[in-house]
Amino acid sequence: MKPVFAKGVGAQGQLSQGAAQGDTVLRVAGADQAFSVGDLVFCSEADGTETEYLGPASAVGGASVTAAFALAAAKSAGAPVWRPAARMVWPVGRSAPLLRVYDSGVEVQRTVSGALYHTRLREPYREETLVFDNLPRAAFDAYSDWFINTLGDGAEAFTFVDEERAVWTVKVMDTQLEQRESPAGVARVAVRLAVVE
């Protein structure tokens, strides 16, 4: 699966009955009013936890949405099902090596007598660095537009779905756009993300 950036809620419904692990058909009253084939589908528990990305809708009926991927965990009746207001599906996967950083904020200190103790110096944080090589020019332009117009030059949080369908709320820490002429019409984008939720 290619990584996905998503922002906001474009339309939302609720499960009219519970869905089991492995289900791809979600019972949503009025689904054809909120969803179309090809819309990206997300589902979470009613309290907003356990958010899952279910891929593009492959079929939409008056009372159901069929998603490309199955639910990894059961969801109860009333759980929200939505499509994002804005989305960007990367046309290529990330380039290796993948870079993930977790900092617990705790450091080991040594006293004058040599004893060791742990001290929390900062809040824990998690970072994810995405590098996309050999992006077609259209995808490079799409990310530039996304960064400027949808994220307000990177100031706003958004949803990131990685290749394993893990869903994160993130903010851009920095981004590097590099346009190359050899081979013609390709570019490289490096994006450093901070996980905020």
| Residue 122 placed within a domain | yes
Please identify, among 37, 68, 89, the residue that sits at the C-terminal boundary of a domain: 89
pLDDT the model gives residue 1: 87
Pick the residue with more confidence: 30 or 125? Answer: 30
Residues 83, 104 share a domain: no
Please identify, among 62, 89, 116, the residue that sits at the C-terminal boundary of a domain: 89
Please identify, among 89, 124, 140, the residue that sits at the C-terminal boundary of a domain: 89
The DSSP element (H or E) to which 141 belongs, if any, is helix 137-145
| Residue 70 placed within a domain | yes
**pLDDT digit string (tens) for 68-120?**
999 999 999 999 999 999 999 998 888 877 777 777 767 777 777 777 777 77
**pLDDT digit string (tens) for 6-18?**
999 999 999 999 9
Residues 182, 112 share a domain: yes
Residues 103, 69 share a domain: no
Share of the chain above pLDDT 90, in %: 49
Instruction: Walk across the sheet containing 40-43 and list its strands.
Output: 11-14, 80-83, 40-43, 52-60, 64-67, 25-27
pLDDT the model gives residue 110: 77
| Residue 42 placed within a domain | yes
3 state DSSP class of 154: coil
What is the number of domains present in the chain?
2
Residues 114, 190 share a domain: yes
**pLDDT digit string (tens) for 173-186?**
887 776 666 667 78
Q: Say if residues 187 and 141 touch (Cβ distance below 8 Å).
A: no
| Residue 125 placed within a domain | yes
- Give the span between the Cα atoms of 154 and 146, in whole angstroms: 9
Least confident interval from 31-45, 98-112, 138-152, 165-179: 98-112
Q: Which domain holds residue 169?
A: 99-195
pLDDT the model gives residue 117: 74
Per-residue pLDDT band at 190 (split at 50, 70, 90):
confident
- Give the span between the Cα atoms of 80 and 47, in whole angstroms: 9
Which CATH number do you get for residue 70? 2.40.10
| Residue 94 placed within a domain | no
| Residue 126 placed within a domain | yes
3 state DSSP class of 45: coil
| Residue 62 placed within a domain | yes
pLDDT the model gives residue 93: 83
pTM value?
A: 0.83
